[in-house]
Structure 1
Amino acid sequence: MAKKNVTFADIAAYTGFSKTTISRYFNNPDSITVENQEKIANALAVLDYKENKLARVMANGKTEMIGVIIPNLYMHYYSDMLDHIISTYEEYGYKFIVFAGNEDADVERRYIQELLAYKTEGLIVLSHTLSSKELAEYHVPIVTIEREDEYVCSVNTDNYMGGVQAATVLAKSGCDILLHANSDFPSTIPAYGRIQGFQDFCETNGLEHRIMIRNFGASFEENNAEIAKLLQEIEEIYPEKKAGIFMPNDTHA
Protein backbone atom coordinates (compact mmCIF):
# COMPACT_ATOMS: atom_id res chain seq x y z
CA MET A 1 0.00 0.00 0.00
CA ALA A 2 1.08 3.58 -0.63
CA LYS A 3 2.87 5.13 2.29
CA LYS A 4 0.92 7.92 4.01
CA ASN A 5 2.47 11.36 3.70
CA VAL A 6 3.31 12.89 7.08
CA THR A 7 1.51 16.21 7.54
CA PHE A 8 2.00 19.18 9.87
CA ALA A 9 -0.97 17.84 11.85
CA ASP A 10 0.87 14.54 12.38
CA ILE A 11 3.99 16.35 13.57
CA ALA A 12 1.93 18.58 15.86
CA ALA A 13 0.18 15.56 17.38
CA TYR A 14 3.48 13.79 17.95
CA THR A 15 5.23 16.77 19.55
CA GLY A 16 2.26 18.35 21.33
CA PHE A 17 2.94 21.66 19.56
CA SER A 18 0.39 23.56 17.49
CA LYS A 19 0.41 23.41 13.68
CA THR A 20 1.35 27.10 13.75
CA THR A 21 4.52 26.27 15.69
CA ILE A 22 5.37 23.50 13.24
CA SER A 23 4.89 25.94 10.34
CA ARG A 24 7.18 28.47 12.04
CA TYR A 25 9.85 25.76 12.32
CA PHE A 26 9.96 25.50 8.52
CA ASN A 27 9.44 29.14 7.58
CA ASN A 28 10.95 31.10 10.48
CA PRO A 29 12.90 28.69 12.74
CA ASP A 30 14.59 31.49 14.70
CA SER A 31 11.18 32.42 16.14
CA ILE A 32 11.13 29.28 18.30
CA THR A 33 13.59 28.10 20.92
CA VAL A 34 16.53 25.86 20.09
CA GLU A 35 15.09 23.22 22.46
CA ASN A 36 11.78 23.15 20.57
CA GLN A 37 13.61 23.10 17.23
CA GLU A 38 15.43 19.97 18.39
CA LYS A 39 12.17 18.31 19.48
CA ILE A 40 10.58 18.99 16.10
CA ALA A 41 13.69 17.85 14.21
CA ASN A 42 13.64 14.60 16.20
CA ALA A 43 9.95 14.12 15.37
CA LEU A 44 10.67 14.59 11.67
CA ALA A 45 13.29 11.84 11.82
CA VAL A 46 11.05 9.44 13.77
CA LEU A 47 8.04 10.04 11.51
CA ASP A 48 10.24 9.88 8.36
CA TYR A 49 8.89 13.23 7.20
CA LYS A 50 9.50 14.15 3.54
CA GLU A 51 9.10 17.84 2.76
CA ASN A 52 6.52 18.70 0.09
CA LYS A 53 8.31 21.41 -1.87
CA LEU A 54 5.27 22.20 -4.02
CA ALA A 55 3.11 22.77 -0.94
CA ARG A 56 5.76 25.04 0.51
CA VAL A 57 5.92 27.08 -2.70
CA MET A 58 2.15 27.48 -2.66
CA ALA A 59 2.28 28.54 0.97
CA ASN A 60 5.00 31.19 0.85
CA GLY A 61 5.23 31.96 -2.88
CA LYS A 62 8.99 31.34 -3.00
CA THR A 63 10.15 28.84 -5.61
CA GLU A 64 13.87 29.09 -4.78
CA MET A 65 14.52 28.85 -8.51
CA ILE A 66 16.70 31.07 -10.70
CA GLY A 67 16.52 31.20 -14.49
CA VAL A 68 19.75 31.21 -16.50
CA ILE A 69 20.02 32.27 -20.15
CA ILE A 70 23.26 31.37 -21.93
CA PRO A 71 24.11 31.70 -25.63
CA ASN A 72 25.27 28.08 -26.01
CA LEU A 73 27.07 25.24 -24.28
CA TYR A 74 29.68 24.89 -27.02
CA MET A 75 31.93 27.68 -25.77
CA HIS A 76 34.05 26.58 -22.81
CA TYR A 77 33.44 29.89 -21.04
CA TYR A 78 29.67 29.45 -20.84
CA SER A 79 29.79 25.82 -19.73
CA ASP A 80 32.41 26.70 -17.10
CA MET A 81 30.34 29.63 -15.80
CA LEU A 82 27.27 27.40 -15.66
CA ASP A 83 29.20 24.85 -13.64
CA HIS A 84 30.13 27.51 -11.07
CA ILE A 85 26.59 28.88 -10.92
CA ILE A 86 25.02 25.48 -10.33
CA SER A 87 27.60 24.61 -7.67
CA THR A 88 26.21 27.38 -5.42
CA TYR A 89 23.19 25.17 -4.61
CA GLU A 90 24.93 23.54 -1.64
CA GLU A 91 25.53 26.93 0.00
CA TYR A 92 22.43 28.91 -0.94
CA GLY A 93 19.77 26.31 -1.81
CA TYR A 94 18.65 27.85 -5.10
CA LYS A 95 17.87 25.62 -8.07
CA PHE A 96 18.42 26.64 -11.69
CA ILE A 97 16.47 26.30 -14.92
CA VAL A 98 18.85 26.78 -17.85
CA PHE A 99 18.05 27.72 -21.44
CA ALA A 100 20.47 28.16 -24.34
CA GLY A 101 19.16 30.90 -26.63
CA ASN A 102 21.63 30.41 -29.50
CA GLU A 103 21.57 34.17 -30.18
CA ASP A 104 17.91 34.12 -31.29
CA ALA A 105 16.07 37.07 -29.72
CA ASP A 106 12.56 35.64 -30.17
CA VAL A 107 13.63 32.31 -28.69
CA GLU A 108 15.16 34.03 -25.66
CA ARG A 109 12.01 36.11 -25.11
CA ARG A 110 9.94 32.92 -25.15
CA TYR A 111 12.33 31.26 -22.70
CA ILE A 112 12.14 34.21 -20.32
CA GLN A 113 8.33 34.12 -20.40
CA GLU A 114 8.52 30.41 -19.59
CA LEU A 115 10.84 31.11 -16.65
CA LEU A 116 8.58 33.85 -15.31
CA ALA A 117 5.58 31.50 -15.58
CA TYR A 118 7.42 29.19 -13.17
CA LYS A 119 7.75 32.12 -10.74
CA THR A 120 11.53 32.10 -10.83
CA GLU A 121 12.88 34.59 -8.32
CA GLY A 122 15.48 36.10 -10.63
CA LEU A 123 17.46 35.74 -13.85
CA ILE A 124 21.16 35.37 -14.64
CA VAL A 125 21.81 36.36 -18.25
CA LEU A 126 25.07 35.66 -20.08
CA SER A 127 23.60 36.14 -23.55
CA HIS A 128 24.17 39.38 -25.49
CA THR A 129 21.04 39.08 -27.63
CA LEU A 130 18.51 41.20 -25.72
CA SER A 131 19.38 44.74 -24.65
CA SER A 132 19.66 45.56 -20.95
CA LYS A 133 16.78 48.01 -21.41
CA GLU A 134 14.49 45.23 -22.59
CA LEU A 135 15.65 42.90 -19.81
CA ALA A 136 14.94 45.56 -17.18
CA GLU A 137 11.35 45.85 -18.39
CA TYR A 138 10.59 42.34 -17.08
CA HIS A 139 10.69 43.79 -13.54
CA VAL A 140 12.39 40.78 -12.00
CA PRO A 141 15.82 40.78 -10.29
CA ILE A 142 18.43 40.33 -13.04
CA VAL A 143 22.21 39.96 -13.00
CA THR A 144 24.07 39.85 -16.29
CA ILE A 145 27.62 38.62 -16.82
CA GLU A 146 30.13 40.16 -19.25
CA ARG A 147 27.67 42.05 -21.43
CA GLU A 148 26.12 45.48 -22.02
CA ASP A 149 24.58 46.54 -18.71
CA GLU A 150 23.28 50.12 -18.85
CA TYR A 151 19.93 49.23 -17.25
CA VAL A 152 20.78 46.14 -15.16
CA CYS A 153 23.30 44.93 -12.59
CA SER A 154 26.27 43.15 -14.13
CA VAL A 155 29.41 41.24 -13.16
CA ASN A 156 32.32 42.01 -15.48
CA THR A 157 36.04 41.38 -15.47
CA ASP A 158 38.76 43.90 -16.26
CA ASN A 159 38.85 43.15 -19.98
CA TYR A 160 41.06 46.16 -20.72
CA MET A 161 43.80 44.91 -18.41
CA GLY A 162 43.40 41.45 -19.92
CA GLY A 163 44.21 42.90 -23.32
CA VAL A 164 47.22 44.73 -21.90
CA GLN A 165 48.51 41.58 -20.21
CA ALA A 166 48.07 39.48 -23.36
CA ALA A 167 50.03 42.00 -25.42
CA THR A 168 52.71 42.14 -22.71
CA VAL A 169 53.23 38.37 -22.78
CA LEU A 170 53.52 38.32 -26.59
CA ALA A 171 55.96 41.24 -26.56
CA LYS A 172 58.15 39.51 -23.96
CA SER A 173 58.11 36.37 -26.12
CA GLY A 174 60.02 38.23 -28.81
CA CYS A 175 57.23 38.38 -31.40
CA ASP A 176 57.82 40.57 -34.46
CA ILE A 177 54.12 41.27 -35.01
CA LEU A 178 51.36 41.18 -32.38
CA LEU A 179 47.90 40.14 -33.59
CA HIS A 180 44.54 40.13 -31.86
CA ALA A 181 41.66 38.24 -33.48
CA ASN A 182 38.17 39.06 -32.21
CA SER A 183 34.56 39.66 -33.18
CA ASP A 184 33.14 43.04 -34.15
CA PHE A 185 32.03 44.25 -30.71
CA PRO A 186 30.42 47.64 -30.03
CA SER A 187 32.24 49.61 -27.34
CA THR A 188 29.34 49.00 -24.91
CA ILE A 189 30.25 45.30 -24.67
CA PRO A 190 32.80 44.62 -21.88
CA ALA A 191 34.83 42.32 -24.15
CA TYR A 192 35.62 45.35 -26.33
CA GLY A 193 38.04 46.34 -23.57
CA ARG A 194 40.35 43.50 -24.65
CA ILE A 195 40.69 45.04 -28.09
CA GLN A 196 41.25 48.51 -26.66
CA GLY A 197 43.77 47.36 -24.04
CA PHE A 198 45.74 45.34 -26.60
CA GLN A 199 45.81 48.22 -29.07
CA ASP A 200 46.73 50.89 -26.52
CA PHE A 201 49.64 48.83 -25.18
CA CYS A 202 51.02 48.21 -28.66
CA GLU A 203 50.71 51.86 -29.72
CA THR A 204 52.21 53.16 -26.46
CA ASN A 205 55.22 50.87 -26.82
CA GLY A 206 55.66 51.30 -30.58
CA LEU A 207 54.95 47.64 -31.35
CA GLU A 208 53.85 46.49 -34.78
CA HIS A 209 50.37 45.10 -34.39
CA ARG A 210 47.07 44.44 -36.08
CA ILE A 211 43.48 43.86 -34.96
CA MET A 212 41.85 41.13 -37.06
CA ILE A 213 38.05 41.26 -36.86
CA ARG A 214 36.38 37.97 -37.73
CA ASN A 215 33.03 36.23 -37.42
CA PHE A 216 34.13 32.86 -36.08
CA GLY A 217 30.64 31.32 -36.13
CA ALA A 218 28.93 29.36 -33.38
CA SER A 219 29.92 25.74 -33.97
CA PHE A 220 33.09 23.67 -34.04
CA GLU A 221 32.90 23.31 -37.83
CA GLU A 222 32.50 27.06 -38.38
CA ASN A 223 35.23 27.89 -35.84
CA ASN A 224 37.64 25.39 -37.36
CA ALA A 225 37.12 26.73 -40.89
CA GLU A 226 37.46 30.41 -39.91
CA ILE A 227 40.55 29.87 -37.74
CA ALA A 228 42.19 27.89 -40.55
CA LYS A 229 41.57 30.85 -42.89
CA LEU A 230 42.94 33.23 -40.26
CA LEU A 231 46.18 31.28 -39.84
CA GLN A 232 46.64 30.97 -43.59
CA GLU A 233 46.18 34.73 -44.01
CA ILE A 234 48.73 35.43 -41.28
CA GLU A 235 51.28 33.11 -42.90
CA GLU A 236 50.75 34.78 -46.28
CA ILE A 237 50.98 38.38 -44.99
CA TYR A 238 53.81 37.84 -42.48
CA PRO A 239 55.85 34.91 -43.89
CA GLU A 240 59.17 36.00 -42.40
CA LYS A 241 57.92 37.28 -39.05
CA LYS A 242 57.34 35.62 -35.70
CA ALA A 243 53.65 36.31 -35.13
CA GLY A 244 52.12 36.36 -31.65
CA ILE A 245 48.35 35.80 -31.65
CA PHE A 246 45.93 36.79 -28.89
CA MET A 247 42.70 34.82 -29.41
CA PRO A 248 39.37 36.03 -28.00
CA ASN A 249 38.55 33.05 -25.78
CA ASP A 250 39.63 29.60 -24.59
CA THR A 251 37.60 27.70 -27.18
CA HIS A 252 39.12 29.52 -30.15
CA ALA A 253 42.59 29.39 -28.63
Structure 2
Amino acid sequence: MRVTIKDIAKLADVSVTTASMALNNKKGVNEETRLKVLNISKELDYHPNKNARSLKTYKTLTIGLIVPEITNPYFASIVECIRKEFENLGYTLLFGVSGDEIKNEQKYVFEFIERNVEGIIIVPTNAVIADLSHLYYLKRIKMPFIFLATKYEGIPANCVMTDLYNGSYLITKHLLENGHEKIFMITVDRRLLTSNMRLNGYMDAFRDMKKKYKDEWIYETLPDFEHGYEASQKIIQKKPDAIITINDILAFGVLKFLKDIKIKVPEEISVAGYDDIIFASISETPLTTVRQPIESICAKAVELILKEIRCEELTSEIYYFKPELKIRDSTRQ
Protein backbone atom coordinates (compact mmCIF):
# COMPACT_ATOMS: atom_id res chain seq x y z
CA MET A 1 0.00 0.00 0.00
CA ARG A 2 1.30 3.44 -0.97
CA VAL A 3 2.49 5.60 1.89
CA THR A 4 0.57 8.87 2.23
CA ILE A 5 1.34 12.17 3.91
CA LYS A 6 -1.11 11.20 6.67
CA ASP A 7 1.10 8.22 7.53
CA ILE A 8 4.12 10.50 7.74
CA ALA A 9 2.27 12.99 9.97
CA LYS A 10 1.05 10.27 12.31
CA LEU A 11 4.49 8.75 12.79
CA ALA A 12 6.06 12.17 13.31
CA ASP A 13 3.27 13.13 15.73
CA VAL A 14 2.48 16.34 13.84
CA SER A 15 -0.48 17.65 11.86
CA VAL A 16 -0.81 16.87 8.16
CA THR A 17 -0.30 20.57 7.48
CA THR A 18 2.99 20.63 9.38
CA ALA A 19 4.18 17.46 7.66
CA SER A 20 3.36 18.91 4.26
CA MET A 21 5.14 22.18 5.07
CA ALA A 22 8.22 20.27 6.24
CA LEU A 23 8.32 18.12 3.11
CA ASN A 24 7.97 21.18 0.88
CA ASN A 25 10.60 23.17 2.79
CA LYS A 26 8.11 25.85 3.80
CA LYS A 27 8.70 28.41 6.53
CA GLY A 28 7.06 27.98 9.93
CA VAL A 29 8.46 24.55 10.85
CA ASN A 30 11.32 24.26 13.32
CA GLU A 31 14.41 22.40 12.18
CA GLU A 32 14.00 19.47 14.57
CA THR A 33 10.48 18.77 13.33
CA ARG A 34 11.50 19.21 9.71
CA LEU A 35 14.34 16.69 10.04
CA LYS A 36 12.08 14.24 11.86
CA VAL A 37 9.48 14.40 9.07
CA LEU A 38 12.11 14.13 6.33
CA ASN A 39 13.80 11.13 7.97
CA ILE A 40 10.51 9.29 8.32
CA SER A 41 9.61 10.03 4.71
CA LYS A 42 12.97 8.61 3.56
CA GLU A 43 12.59 5.50 5.70
CA LEU A 44 9.16 4.83 4.19
CA ASP A 45 10.26 5.76 0.66
CA TYR A 46 7.50 8.38 0.44
CA HIS A 47 6.91 9.95 -2.98
CA PRO A 48 4.04 12.48 -3.06
CA ASN A 49 1.93 12.56 -6.19
CA LYS A 50 1.89 16.33 -6.33
CA ASN A 51 5.65 16.39 -6.83
CA ALA A 52 5.54 13.78 -9.57
CA ARG A 53 3.43 15.89 -11.92
CA SER A 54 2.77 19.58 -12.29
CA LEU A 55 -0.78 20.43 -11.31
CA LYS A 56 -0.67 23.30 -13.78
CA THR A 57 0.00 21.08 -16.79
CA TYR A 58 -1.30 17.65 -15.80
CA LYS A 59 -5.06 17.42 -16.19
CA THR A 60 -6.82 14.79 -14.10
CA LEU A 61 -10.36 16.08 -14.79
CA THR A 62 -11.03 15.47 -11.09
CA ILE A 63 -12.59 17.87 -8.58
CA GLY A 64 -12.86 17.53 -4.80
CA LEU A 65 -15.99 18.47 -2.82
CA ILE A 66 -16.24 18.62 0.99
CA VAL A 67 -19.57 18.94 2.83
CA PRO A 68 -20.28 18.94 6.59
CA GLU A 69 -22.85 16.13 6.42
CA ILE A 70 -25.29 14.33 4.15
CA THR A 71 -28.01 13.33 6.63
CA ASN A 72 -29.55 16.77 6.02
CA PRO A 73 -31.06 16.57 2.49
CA TYR A 74 -29.88 20.12 1.84
CA PHE A 75 -26.25 18.98 1.73
CA ALA A 76 -27.11 15.76 -0.09
CA SER A 77 -28.78 17.90 -2.77
CA ILE A 78 -25.62 19.98 -3.11
CA VAL A 79 -23.55 16.83 -3.64
CA GLU A 80 -25.94 15.53 -6.30
CA CYS A 81 -26.18 18.86 -8.13
CA ILE A 82 -22.41 19.31 -8.20
CA ARG A 83 -21.95 15.70 -9.33
CA LYS A 84 -24.35 16.14 -12.25
CA GLU A 85 -22.74 19.41 -13.32
CA PHE A 86 -19.26 17.89 -13.45
CA GLU A 87 -20.42 14.62 -14.95
CA ASN A 88 -21.92 16.54 -17.87
CA LEU A 89 -18.53 18.20 -18.37
CA GLY A 90 -16.59 14.93 -18.28
CA TYR A 91 -15.12 15.45 -14.80
CA THR A 92 -14.96 12.97 -11.93
CA LEU A 93 -16.11 14.21 -8.51
CA LEU A 94 -14.43 13.05 -5.31
CA PHE A 95 -16.26 14.03 -2.16
CA GLY A 96 -15.73 13.84 1.56
CA VAL A 97 -17.99 14.37 4.58
CA SER A 98 -16.27 16.37 7.31
CA GLY A 99 -18.80 15.51 10.00
CA ASP A 100 -18.76 19.23 10.77
CA GLU A 101 -15.22 18.87 12.16
CA ILE A 102 -12.31 20.94 10.93
CA LYS A 103 -9.80 18.09 11.39
CA ASN A 104 -11.77 15.99 8.91
CA GLU A 105 -11.98 18.87 6.48
CA GLN A 106 -8.19 19.14 6.68
CA LYS A 107 -7.85 15.40 6.11
CA TYR A 108 -9.90 15.53 2.91
CA VAL A 109 -8.06 18.58 1.60
CA PHE A 110 -4.76 16.71 1.79
CA GLU A 111 -6.28 13.52 0.40
CA PHE A 112 -7.52 15.50 -2.58
CA ILE A 113 -4.06 17.01 -3.08
CA GLU A 114 -2.61 13.48 -3.00
CA ARG A 115 -5.09 12.45 -5.69
CA ASN A 116 -4.14 15.39 -7.91
CA VAL A 117 -7.55 17.05 -8.04
CA GLU A 118 -7.59 20.19 -10.15
CA GLY A 119 -9.69 22.19 -7.70
CA ILE A 120 -11.69 21.91 -4.48
CA ILE A 121 -15.17 23.13 -3.50
CA ILE A 122 -15.64 23.48 0.25
CA VAL A 123 -18.85 23.79 2.25
CA PRO A 124 -17.38 25.00 5.57
CA THR A 125 -17.99 23.52 9.01
CA ASN A 126 -19.76 25.36 11.84
CA ALA A 127 -16.45 25.90 13.62
CA VAL A 128 -16.23 29.40 15.13
CA ILE A 129 -12.55 29.24 16.00
CA ALA A 130 -10.74 26.89 13.68
CA ASP A 131 -7.28 25.94 12.45
CA LEU A 132 -7.47 27.06 8.83
CA SER A 133 -3.85 26.31 8.00
CA HIS A 134 -4.94 23.82 5.33
CA LEU A 135 -6.64 26.64 3.41
CA TYR A 136 -3.61 28.91 3.63
CA TYR A 137 -1.60 25.95 2.37
CA LEU A 138 -3.93 25.65 -0.64
CA LYS A 139 -3.22 29.30 -1.34
CA ARG A 140 0.53 28.75 -1.12
CA ILE A 141 0.53 25.85 -3.58
CA LYS A 142 -1.92 27.73 -5.81
CA MET A 143 -4.59 25.04 -5.65
CA PRO A 144 -7.89 26.53 -6.88
CA PHE A 145 -10.67 26.36 -4.30
CA ILE A 146 -13.94 28.11 -3.56
CA PHE A 147 -16.54 28.14 -0.79
CA LEU A 148 -20.15 27.12 -1.23
CA ALA A 149 -23.16 27.97 1.02
CA THR A 150 -21.00 30.00 3.45
CA LYS A 151 -17.36 30.90 3.99
CA TYR A 152 -14.61 31.20 6.57
CA GLU A 153 -13.97 34.82 7.47
CA GLY A 154 -10.50 36.06 6.60
CA ILE A 155 -9.81 33.53 3.84
CA PRO A 156 -9.59 35.24 0.43
CA ALA A 157 -11.59 32.99 -1.86
CA ASN A 158 -14.71 33.14 -3.99
CA CYS A 159 -17.96 32.05 -2.35
CA VAL A 160 -21.38 31.19 -3.78
CA MET A 161 -24.35 31.29 -1.43
CA THR A 162 -27.95 32.31 -0.85
CA ASP A 163 -28.66 35.80 0.47
CA LEU A 164 -29.44 34.43 3.93
CA TYR A 165 -30.22 37.90 5.23
CA ASN A 166 -32.97 38.41 2.69
CA GLY A 167 -34.56 35.02 3.33
CA SER A 168 -34.68 35.59 7.08
CA TYR A 169 -36.06 39.08 6.54
CA LEU A 170 -38.84 37.76 4.30
CA ILE A 171 -40.01 35.05 6.69
CA THR A 172 -39.90 37.32 9.76
CA LYS A 173 -41.75 40.11 7.97
CA HIS A 174 -44.38 37.62 6.78
CA LEU A 175 -45.03 36.48 10.35
CA LEU A 176 -45.16 40.04 11.71
CA GLU A 177 -47.60 41.09 8.98
CA ASN A 178 -49.87 38.21 9.98
CA GLY A 179 -50.18 39.15 13.61
CA HIS A 180 -47.28 37.32 15.22
CA GLU A 181 -45.28 39.37 17.68
CA LYS A 182 -43.38 37.04 19.97
CA ILE A 183 -41.26 35.33 17.33
CA PHE A 184 -38.41 33.13 18.51
CA MET A 185 -35.46 32.11 16.34
CA ILE A 186 -33.45 28.90 16.73
CA THR A 187 -30.01 29.40 15.23
CA VAL A 188 -26.39 28.30 15.57
CA ASP A 189 -23.60 30.31 17.18
CA ARG A 190 -24.29 33.90 16.15
CA ARG A 191 -20.60 34.50 15.42
CA LEU A 192 -20.95 32.29 12.34
CA LEU A 193 -21.73 33.99 9.03
CA THR A 194 -24.73 31.69 8.40
CA SER A 195 -26.24 32.71 11.74
CA ASN A 196 -25.22 36.36 11.71
CA MET A 197 -26.78 37.06 8.31
CA ARG A 198 -30.06 35.43 9.28
CA LEU A 199 -30.19 37.25 12.61
CA ASN A 200 -29.61 40.59 10.91
CA GLY A 201 -32.52 39.88 8.58
CA TYR A 202 -34.70 38.89 11.54
CA MET A 203 -33.83 42.03 13.52
CA ASP A 204 -34.21 44.38 10.55
CA ALA A 205 -37.68 43.00 9.81
CA PHE A 206 -38.74 43.88 13.35
CA ARG A 207 -37.23 47.34 12.98
CA ASP A 208 -38.89 48.03 9.62
CA MET A 209 -42.26 46.86 10.97
CA LYS A 210 -41.81 49.15 13.98
CA LYS A 211 -41.86 46.15 16.31
CA LYS A 212 -39.50 45.14 19.11
CA TYR A 213 -37.81 41.81 19.71
CA LYS A 214 -35.98 40.56 22.79
CA ASP A 215 -32.54 38.98 22.76
CA GLU A 216 -33.92 36.10 24.86
CA TRP A 217 -36.02 35.12 21.85
CA ILE A 218 -32.83 34.05 20.05
CA TYR A 219 -31.80 30.51 20.95
CA GLU A 220 -28.42 29.12 19.88
CA THR A 221 -27.91 25.38 19.46
CA LEU A 222 -26.73 22.75 16.95
CA PRO A 223 -28.56 22.54 13.60
CA ASP A 224 -30.16 19.08 13.80
CA PHE A 225 -33.52 17.44 14.58
CA GLU A 226 -32.68 16.47 18.17
CA HIS A 227 -31.57 19.98 19.11
CA GLY A 228 -34.66 21.47 17.49
CA TYR A 229 -36.79 19.23 19.69
CA GLU A 230 -34.72 20.08 22.76
CA ALA A 231 -34.77 23.83 22.10
CA SER A 232 -38.56 23.76 21.79
CA GLN A 233 -38.88 22.31 25.28
CA LYS A 234 -37.28 25.45 26.67
CA ILE A 235 -38.84 27.97 24.30
CA ILE A 236 -42.41 26.74 24.91
CA GLN A 237 -42.19 27.89 28.53
CA LYS A 238 -41.94 31.48 27.25
CA LYS A 239 -45.20 31.20 25.26
CA PRO A 240 -44.06 32.10 21.72
CA ASP A 241 -46.39 33.12 18.90
CA ALA A 242 -44.04 31.62 16.34
CA ILE A 243 -40.71 29.81 16.02
CA ILE A 244 -38.32 30.31 13.10
CA THR A 245 -35.39 27.94 12.57
CA ILE A 246 -32.30 28.34 10.38
CA ASN A 247 -32.94 25.04 8.59
CA ASP A 248 -35.85 22.71 7.94
CA ILE A 249 -34.39 19.85 9.98
CA LEU A 250 -34.52 22.00 13.14
CA ALA A 251 -38.10 22.94 12.25
CA PHE A 252 -39.09 19.28 12.02
CA GLY A 253 -37.73 18.83 15.54
CA VAL A 254 -39.91 21.73 16.67
CA LEU A 255 -42.99 20.27 14.94
CA LYS A 256 -42.41 16.88 16.55
CA PHE A 257 -42.19 18.37 20.03
CA LEU A 258 -45.31 20.48 19.56
CA LYS A 259 -47.21 17.44 18.31
CA ASP A 260 -46.03 15.39 21.30
CA ILE A 261 -47.41 17.94 23.75
CA LYS A 262 -50.57 18.39 21.66
CA ILE A 263 -50.04 22.02 20.65
CA LYS A 264 -51.73 22.78 17.34
CA VAL A 265 -49.71 24.18 14.45
CA PRO A 266 -50.40 26.83 13.24
CA GLU A 267 -53.50 27.57 15.34
CA GLU A 268 -51.51 27.98 18.56
CA ILE A 269 -47.94 28.39 17.34
CA SER A 270 -46.59 29.00 13.84
CA VAL A 271 -43.38 27.25 12.72
CA ALA A 272 -41.12 28.17 9.81
CA GLY A 273 -37.87 26.68 8.53
CA TYR A 274 -35.20 27.48 5.95
CA ASP A 275 -33.89 25.57 2.87
CA ASP A 276 -37.08 23.98 1.43
CA ILE A 277 -35.72 20.44 1.45
CA ILE A 278 -37.79 17.75 -0.27
CA PHE A 279 -39.70 16.80 2.90
CA ALA A 280 -40.85 20.37 3.63
CA SER A 281 -43.82 20.24 1.26
CA ILE A 282 -44.85 16.63 1.98
CA SER A 283 -44.60 16.52 5.78
CA GLU A 284 -47.70 15.97 7.90
CA THR A 285 -47.90 19.73 8.34
CA PRO A 286 -46.43 21.23 5.15
CA LEU A 287 -43.69 23.59 6.29
CA THR A 288 -43.47 27.29 5.55
CA THR A 289 -39.83 27.86 4.66
CA VAL A 290 -37.34 29.74 2.51
CA ARG A 291 -36.16 28.03 -0.65
CA GLN A 292 -32.47 28.16 -1.47
CA PRO A 293 -31.87 27.93 -5.25
CA ILE A 294 -29.46 25.00 -4.96
CA GLU A 295 -29.28 24.25 -8.69
CA SER A 296 -28.31 27.82 -9.58
CA ILE A 297 -25.82 28.04 -6.69
CA CYS A 298 -24.12 24.79 -7.69
CA ALA A 299 -23.97 25.74 -11.36
CA LYS A 300 -22.25 29.00 -10.42
CA ALA A 301 -19.84 27.17 -8.11
CA VAL A 302 -18.83 24.84 -10.94
CA GLU A 303 -18.40 27.80 -13.30
CA LEU A 304 -16.16 29.62 -10.82
CA ILE A 305 -13.90 26.70 -9.91
CA LEU A 306 -13.33 25.92 -13.59
CA LYS A 307 -12.46 29.56 -14.24
CA GLU A 308 -9.96 29.44 -11.38
CA ILE A 309 -8.45 26.26 -12.78
CA ARG A 310 -8.00 28.06 -16.10
CA CYS A 311 -6.68 31.12 -14.22
CA GLU A 312 -9.58 33.21 -15.51
CA GLU A 313 -11.13 34.06 -12.12
CA LEU A 314 -8.67 35.42 -9.58
CA THR A 315 -10.97 37.66 -7.53
CA SER A 316 -12.31 37.04 -4.04
CA GLU A 317 -16.03 37.77 -4.04
CA ILE A 318 -19.28 36.52 -2.55
CA TYR A 319 -21.90 35.72 -5.18
CA TYR A 320 -25.37 35.95 -3.62
CA PHE A 321 -28.48 34.22 -4.96
CA LYS A 322 -32.00 35.36 -4.19
CA PRO A 323 -34.10 33.10 -1.91
CA GLU A 324 -37.84 32.48 -2.28
CA LEU A 325 -40.44 32.46 0.49
CA LYS A 326 -42.64 29.34 0.40
CA ILE A 327 -45.80 29.82 2.48
CA ARG A 328 -47.47 26.58 3.57
CA ASP A 329 -49.70 25.27 6.36
CA SER A 330 -47.31 25.59 9.32
CA THR A 331 -47.80 29.36 9.68
CA ARG A 332 -50.99 31.20 10.55
CA GLN A 333 -52.27 33.75 8.03
- TM-score category (smaller protein): 0.5 to 0.7
Q: For residues 196 and 79 of structure 2, what CA distance do their matches in structure 1 show? A: 22
Q: How does 1:1-253 map to 2 (within 5 A)?
A: 61-128=58-125, 129=127, 134-138=134-138, 139-145=142-148, 146-148=150-152, 150=154, 151-186=156-191, 189-210=193-214, 211-216=217-222, 223-224=225-226, 226-238=227-239, 243-253=241-251
Post-superposition shift, 1:133? 6.7
Distance 1:70 1:172 in 2: 36
CA distance in 2: counterparts of 1:252 and 1:73, whole angstroms: 15
CA separation in 1, counterparts of 2:135 and 2:93? 18
Letter of the structure 2 residue corresponding to residue 214 of structure 1: E
1:148 counterpart SS class: coil
Deviations 1:16-55 (A, max 9, x none): xxxxxxxxxxxxxxxxxxxxxxxxxxxxxxxxxxxxxxxx
> What is the rounded CA distance, in whole Å, between the counterparts of 2:170 and 2:199 in structure 1?
12
* Offset of residue 156 of structure 1: 2.0
1:140-172 residue CA offsets vs partner (Å, 9 max, x unmatched) = 100101122541111122111111101112113
Change (3 A) 1:124 1:149: farther
Asked which structure has the greater CA Rg, the reply is 1
Report Cα offsets for 1:185-233 as digits up to 9, x if no partner. 326x244211111012113323243442322265xxxx32x32332232
- How far apart are residue 72 of structure 1 and its match? 0.9
Write the letter of the residue equivalent to 1:116: I
Residue aligning to 1:51 = none
* Preserved CA contact (<8 Å) 2:172 2:202: yes
Alignment deviations for residues 62-90 of structure 1 (CA, whole Å, 9 cap, x no partner): 11110111111112221111111111034
2:61 is matched by which residue type in structure 1? E
Q: Report SS of the residue matched to 1:87.
A: helix
> Measured at CA, do residues 131 and 88 of structure 1 come closer, stay the same or move farther in structure 2, by a change above 3 Å?
farther
Cα distance in 2 between the residues matched to 1:196 and 1:142 = 28
The total of aligned residue pairs comes to 187
Q: TM-score, normalised by structure 1?
A: 0.66
Aligned-residue identity in percent:
19
2:82 counterpart SS class = helix
Q: How many angstroms does 1:237 deviate by?
A: 1.2
Whole-angstrom distance in 2 between the partners of 1:96 and 1:115:
11
- Greater mean alpha carbon deviation, residues 159-168 or residues 127-136: 127-136
Could you tell me which amino acid in structure 2 is paired with residue 215 of structure 1?
Answer: T
* Residues in 1 aligned to 2:250 and 2:238: alpha-carbon distance in whole angstroms: 21
8 Å Cα contact 1:131/1:148 also seen in 2: no
In the alignment, structure 1 segments of 5+ residues that lack a partner are 1-59
Q: Could you tell me whether the CA contact under 8 Å between 2:188 and 2:220 is conserved in 1?
A: yes
Matching residue's letter, 1:249: N
In the TM superposition, residue 136 of structure 1 has moved relative to its aligned partner by 3.8
